[in-house]
Amino acid sequence: MSDNTFAAATVPLRWVGPLKISGNVAEGLIEVPLATYESPLWPSVGRGAKISTLCERGIVATLIDERMTRSVLLEADDAGTALAAARQLTDELPVLRGIVNDCSRFAELIAIHHQIVGNLLFVRFEFTTGDASGHNMATLASDALLTHIVNVVPGVRYGSVSGNFCTDKKASAVNGILGRGKNVVAELLIPREIVEQRLHTTAARVAELNLRKNLIGTTLAGGIRTANAHYANMLLGVYLATGQDAANIVEGSQGITHVEDRDGDLYFSCALPNLIVGTVGNGKSLDFVEENLTRLGCRESRETGGNARRLAVITAAAVLCGELSLLAAQTNPGELMRTHLRFERTASK
Amino acid sequence: MSDNTFAAATVPLRWVGPLKISGNVAEGLIEVPLATYESPLWPSVGRGAKISTLCERGIVATLIDERMTRSVLLEADDAGTALAAARQLTDELPVLRGIVNDCSRFAELIAIHHQIVGNLLFVRFEFTTGDASGHNMATLASDALLTHIVNVVPGVRYGSVSGNFCTDKKASAVNGILGRGKNVVAELLIPREIVEQRLHTTAARVAELNLRKNLIGTTLAGGIRTANAHYANMLLGVYLATGQDAANIVEGSQGITHVEDRDGDLYFSCALPNLIVGTVGNGKSLDFVEENLTRLGCRESRETGGNARRLAVITAAAVLCGELSLLAAQTNPGELMRTHLRFERTASK
Amino acid sequence: MSDNTFAAATVPLRWVGPLKISGNVAEGLIEVPLATYESPLWPSVGRGAKISTLCERGIVATLIDERMTRSVLLEADDAGTALAAARQLTDELPVLRGIVNDCSRFAELIAIHHQIVGNLLFVRFEFTTGDASGHNMATLASDALLTHIVNVVPGVRYGSVSGNFCTDKKASAVNGILGRGKNVVAELLIPREIVEQRLHTTAARVAELNLRKNLIGTTLAGGIRTANAHYANMLLGVYLATGQDAANIVEGSQGITHVEDRDGDLYFSCALPNLIVGTVGNGKSLDFVEENLTRLGCRESRETGGNARRLAVITAAAVLCGELSLLAAQTNPGELMRTHLRFERTASK
Amino acid sequence: MSDNTFAAATVPLRWVGPLKISGNVAEGLIEVPLATYESPLWPSVGRGAKISTLCERGIVATLIDERMTRSVLLEADDAGTALAAARQLTDELPVLRGIVNDCSRFAELIAIHHQIVGNLLFVRFEFTTGDASGHNMATLASDALLTHIVNVVPGVRYGSVSGNFCTDKKASAVNGILGRGKNVVAELLIPREIVEQRLHTTAARVAELNLRKNLIGTTLAGGIRTANAHYANMLLGVYLATGQDAANIVEGSQGITHVEDRDGDLYFSCALPNLIVGTVGNGKSLDFVEENLTRLGCRESRETGGNARRLAVITAAAVLCGELSLLAAQTNPGELMRTHLRFERTASK
């Protein structure tokens, strides 16, 4: 390892908000930290946050599901042997659960899925992992499961502890369909007056733009399970600010913005099925991360997983704020560019 | 904007290497900075770097192409009008080029592509943008082009300055097929002895794992234009260390690892068609970024774009180092977990 | 080859319509033959056809583009050699064009695209092919081009005459983005009264269903460049009835339905970028195919390619009719099932 | 409905084989009917069939799974209501099963999956459907389930009886990941001598081509869950010959060819996760279909679903024959074109 002049990348960070949040996990006025080199992100999310405080229920963030996954790869004698192995694993799920419990206090095996291609067997293990995002816990547990399988299942051999059917940090469809990370839907109902006065647009125009750009445009681009303008920006900001493995924005950014014009009021929602966040584990013990998680209310005494779920819904709410602000801006010719230029001039003064 | 306790996310950073690099852009022994919360990444990339120094040509990094894109969305009277508009734009390409030249010293319009869906017209502008990654330059130019189009082309109206056929930070196929960012292929030919002694595996086993995991496993996951183990990790590390807009790892991570067993020698390559990096622009004037870019040799006096191209091939080489190290480890049962545990124990001492 | 009891699969066929068609290729009242085992398809398309006759311009079918493709696969010494080869091919495009002209009266090479992965070079040749769908013409020409390349370009060797970057009969994004087959957009503007009386629904409800089902639902399914309800059904029906290679419905079915509520009138459009049809070649000399093509007006004396283009826009119009009818039915609870049951009862009497 | 000159598309049909088949469903030497306008398909599949008879176990076709699906679309008050509804449906699965049993003798509800986007709830019902492919049975059952849900679940309303998360005849990832149709893997182990003498190639060259073309090439094309050369051709041939809804080749063609060089012997396999076939229902009562199904052994007295499973594994075996033949041919420069030309000359004599 080389001599290290600078020991850190110091990414500029600002707290934005507060956002008004409700739903099945968190409630209240909550500020959000965003670390980014793209300074226009702060006022953009800030504008959405302000609007959330003007709406009756604020952003309603609903946690739908949570799990962390790892798929192992096994080589079988042939497809028939692979099928027999898959069936044996399904039948012996309680045994597999016991193995997982033995190697981790927090990991619980909740489901398995498999795929067979020729003589190859891919088994996707799905765990709950408490307040950790769970990458390492899942790998450790999968390692133990793999050792067990190779020892007791006839005709199968080690292929890889990870077979990419998991799938970590890759653009794919499996995570959205089978679940990986926290699945959160954030919704905001904005009265017509606020849409007009604060966003300088109408519900009809935002809904139309969402259809044309996020849904049709992304389909044209060959997008996969994704229909949004820029979830990745907000995710990166929150992830860096809270010590997350920010490479998980690859799958985290695959979400769907759904908008409705409700008699002039704007229904605006973001579905984020793959939010991979934790409040313990790698990166979480850095001083500024501790501080930020504490300020977010994610260091309190809660039931297992409660702090991570709180972080997930806050993250989803921040994503909604930025997405709303950008889409509204793009309904008006020239607004995006003017805002960027104005903010960057201000920032450089 | 709220009061800000910590003004930055300080992401731990280490210089790794040197890597031995050759090819059509850069040559020599070059160290690479990686900023990450995932500390096992450093020794992993470091192992690949060490191996590169033991191979005759080192990592041969070839720049294939470069461009930055933005697609505007236009509403036309109908598909026939959209088609006429698209033809007019193609015919008047020189006029469009002039408009771009007028609004930027560095941006050059090099190609346009379009898509028509019903009465909607999506036009994807492709630019070279000098040493900047070019997001803002492309948006500014597209804004000017859009204003021009709406003024001179009959029957078309403003839809959006961005129509997601660009596409920025979204998992899709268009960027790989039409190009966006630097397209770089990195290759390394590793003699059999080094494969065995340093990676504790064989070329045949790495090739087999690449086929089964990166190609078949990713296909099973519903992956889109991607076949690798963890490009996103290395990209994030370099991007944060050099002031890039790291949300671009979403498309940057969509690349293909191709491996061959050449009579026991290991041919290992990474194709990264969407490396979005710059050496000027947002984030590049922070002190540590200046320092890091300077140390990387990306602040020297070169022809326009030369510093950014250098950064691109260095990034690709770093990706190869990490990808090689992980794939080799996964050919051996238990090695990945042992390495992680050992390193994290060491790091926490 | 075995003894053959039945020498044919006799797929039931009915002529549906007439459809009212206008646009840049064909004009008039035209009936369409549909061969299918799924008899409810006939009244479904028939309903859409009837509606087209009640609308002022009928179905406006606009031909956007046409080409047939084949990608060859070359093995190069390394990526640098592959890049040099790709540049040489681009520079020598006139030579390549001459080679194509020498091996076919009708094929013209109009563009090439390439991809480089490690030491592999994929070159996608794009041709116009007159009135033929062009599969064989493209393969023949590519074979000649490949032989030439291997002979004159240094450091590259034969990989395969088809490298799947073409891509024929596979679910992918490349055909929509780069083009393959006829690209046709069909549009229909239906007055409010007809929507209500004939389709028993409203423009708003059809637009809403299209958003939710075809765009959001398909995105959730991990769809690739596709957003429609059942293009494949109509395509199969026309393809079988006119002697096409019906396996091309795989890519042909990847199209986008775009719907707008225009003050109560229904704007309904189908974008079909990959219609692969011909009026000469394999399957076209069977008696019933001759008869059907003649009745369709696709056996007349026209400029080269004119008959195939006519068939393409008629096919697109038929797709629109079936898509409209199904979507409208699905806006009403129970209607789809009732219609199916009623028709099948009638058919079995 | 118009006057109909020709009442059928008569697609030329030949019986090919016999194929040697074994595995968990069918055993023996079995001929296969292929209806196609592309006459070179017959000798191509015939060559593969011949080879299967020379291999010890022949083609081992393993049925992995079977199910038919339909996803309904519900509009909920908000995401929280959608989540409550999804949980209620999961809890009341026995009630839903009863509803399905009441509306069909053969359909059994075996699983449900859901997706929530904003206030939209997509519920995917999965059924076994006996010997029918099950489209209509699934729609009928879903119609009944939907009526029940709208009546008993608070806060949800009818959206559509089909929400495209099913997904029928569309290029997507969901069917491969969650299952739809018969999932069959076909494998053939070909001794080295036969590879050389009959296919004029080597196992190493076929494995290399499969990697480069089917896996890498398809990835480059933006393929989705697919890695093969031309499954669609064989599927279409069998589907038309046996009265299937051939539009299901869209998803049926999304499968993976996996090849290994086993010390010179060629391991060749085709994984087809979405074979949608039935031996009763629409199209199956036509005389030639009855005849063909009888000759295939799919009209015998078997346990429920046994005839359809037999047809599925035979279909998969036929796909393997054609895929093997084409891939082997493409390893040799010029062979594909020579074969096509020779056969078409012969055919036209």
Q: Which of D64, D116, D256 sits opposite A271 (nearest CB)?
A: D116
* D247 contacts in chain C (CB < 8 Å): 38, 230, 232-233, 235-236, 249, 253
Q: What is the pLDDT of residue D59?
A: 98
User: How many helices and strands, by DSSP H and E, does chain B display?
Assistant: 13, 9
Are D132 and D259 members of one domain?
A: no
pLDDT of D347 reads 47
CB contact under 8 A, B222 and D224: yes
Whether residue B85 sits in one domain with residue B57: no
* H-run or E-run covering C124: strand C120-128
In a domain, B300, yes or no: yes
Q: pLDDT at position D20, please?
A: 98
* Whether C153 and C187 share a structural domain: no
Residue C28 lies in a domain: yes
Nearest neighbour of D7 by CB, restricted to C12, C16, C216: C12
Determine whether A38 is an active site residue.
Answer: yes
Question: Tens of pLDDT along D77-87?
Answer: 999 999 999 99
pLDDT at D159: 97
- Please check the confidence at residue A149 and state whether its pLDDT lies above 80: yes
Beta strands in D131-215 (DSSP E): 156-160, 181-190
The answer to whether B187 contacts C120, with C-beta atoms less than 8 Å apart, is no
- Cα(D40)–Cα(A341) distance, rounded to whole angstroms? 62
Residue C347 is predicted with a pLDDT of: 47
Q: In angstroms, what separates the C-alpha of B163 from chain D's closest C-alpha?
A: 20
The answer as to whether C201 is a domain residue is: yes
CATH number of the domain at C311, please: 3.90.770.10
For B168-188, the pLDDT digits (tens) are 999 999 999 999 999 999 999
pLDDT of D348 reads: 41
Determine which one of C31, C245, C261, C335 is catalytic.
C245
Structural domain contains residue C224: yes
Q: What is the pLDDT of residue B144?
A: 97
* End position of a domain, from candidates C160, C193, C219: C160
Mean per-residue pLDDT, A119-145: 97
Closest by CA position to B116, among listed B61, B170, B77, B58: B77
- Cβ–Cβ < 8 Å for C257, C269: yes
Task: Tell me whether residue C38 is one of the annotated catalytic residues.
Answer: yes
**B208 inside domain:** yes
For the segment A81-112, what is each residue's pLDDT rounded down to a tens digit? 999 999 999 999 999 999 999 999 999 999 99
Best D1, D11, D343 residue to mutate vs chain C (most C CBs within 10 Å): D11
Residues of chain D with pLDDT below 70 are 1-6, 343-349
Nearest CB among D15, D175, D230 relative to C169 is that of D230
- D86-123: pLDDT as tens digits: 999 999 999 999 999 999 999 999 999 999 999 999 99
The chain D residue lying nearest C169, using CA atoms, is: D232
Within-domain flag for A174: no
- pLDDT value at residue C15: 97
Residue D167 forms part of a structural domain? no
In chain C, DSSP finds a helix count (H) and a strand count (E) of: 13, 9
CA–CA separation, D163 vs D121, rounded Å?
9
Residues in chain B: 349
Per-residue pLDDT tens for B45-62?
A: 999 999 999 999 999 999
Could you tell me if C219 and C142 lie in one domain? no
Q: Give CA–CA dist D294/D302, Å, rounded.
A: 13
> Do both A59 and A119 map to the same domain?
no
Domain boundary pick from C160, C189, C206: C160
Does one domain contain both A59 and A71?
Answer: no
Q: Are residues B189 and B332 in the same domain?
A: yes
Judgement on whether residues D193 and D272 belong to the same structural domain of the protein: yes
In chain B, residues with a C-beta closer than 8 Å to the C-beta of A220 are: 115, 117, 122, 164-165, 174
Alpha carbon distance C211, C218 (integer Å): 10
Verdict on whether the full-model pTM lies above 0.90: yes
Count Cβ atoms within 10 A of the Cβ of residue D258 and give its class: 0-12 exposed, 13-18 middle, 19 or more buried.
buried
Rounded (10°) angle between helices B306-330 and B335-348: 110
Find how far residue C216's CA is from the centre of its chain.
23
Q: Which of A31, A92, A208, A245 is catalytic?
A: A245
* Rounded distance between C-alpha atoms, residue B318 and residue B325, angstroms: 11
Cα dihedral B136/B141/B147/B149 (nearest 10) = -130
Domain span at C55: 13-65+181-348
Number of domains in chain A: 2
Contacts from C236-239 at CB under 8 Å and sequence distance 24+?
C236/C36, C236/D246, C236/D247, C237/C33, C237/C34, C237/C35, C237/C36, C237/C41, C237/C45, C237/C318, C238/C32, C238/C33, C238/C34, C238/C314, C238/C315, C238/C318, C239/C277, C239/C315
Kind and range of the H or E element at B265? strand B265-275
Residues of chain B with pLDDT under 50: 1-2, 347-349
Quick one: pLDDT band at residue A310, thresholds 50, 70, 90? Answer: very high
Residue C256 near chain B (CB below 8 Å) = yes
Residue by residue, DSSP assigns A193-206 as HHHHHHHSS-HHHH
Please report, for the domain that includes residue A143, its CATH number: 3.30.70.420
A160, A190, A210 — which closes off a domain? A160
Question: Distance between CA atoms of B159 and A205, rounded to whole angstroms?
Answer: 10
Q: Which of residues 185-244 of A touch C (CB under 8 A)?
A: 211, 215-216, 218-220, 222-227
Q: What is the pLDDT of residue B342?
A: 72
pLDDT tens-digit series, residues C235-252: 999 999 999 999 999 999
Each residue of B229-274: pLDDT tens digit? 999 999 999 999 999 999 999 999 999 999 999 999 999 999 999 9
pLDDT cut 70: percent of chain A above it: 96
Q: Is the domain of C199 the same as that of C247? A: yes
DSSP secondary structure string for all residues of D137-159? HHHHHHHHHHHHHHHHSTTEEEE
> Looking at chain C from residue 7 to 66, which residues have their Cβ under 8 Å from any Cβ of chain D?
7-18, 31, 33, 35, 37-39, 42-43, 46
> Would you list the DSSP string of C53-97?
HTSSS-EEEEEEEEEEEEEEEEEESSHHHHHHHHHHHHHTHHHHH
Task: Supply the pLDDT for residue D43.
Answer: 97
The reply to whether A316 and A215 lie within a common domain is yes
Q: Does D31 participate in catalysis according to the annotation?
A: no
Q: How far is C63 from chain A (nearest CA, A)?
A: 18
pLDDT over 90 at A2, yes or no: no
Question: What DSSP assignment string belongs to B272-292?
Answer: EEEE---SBSTTTTSHHHHHH
Under an 8 A CB cutoff, do C222 and A227 touch?
A: no
Note whether B186 and B156 are same-domain residues.
no
Residues from chain A contacting residue C173 (CB–CB below 8 Å): 222
Residue ranges of chain C whose pLDDT lies below 70: 1-6, 343-349
Q: Which residues of C touch A271 (CB under 8 A)?
A: none
The predicted pLDDT at position D1 comes to 42
How close B217 comes to chain C (CA, Å)? 16
Residue A292 included in any domain: yes
Same domain, D191 and D249: yes
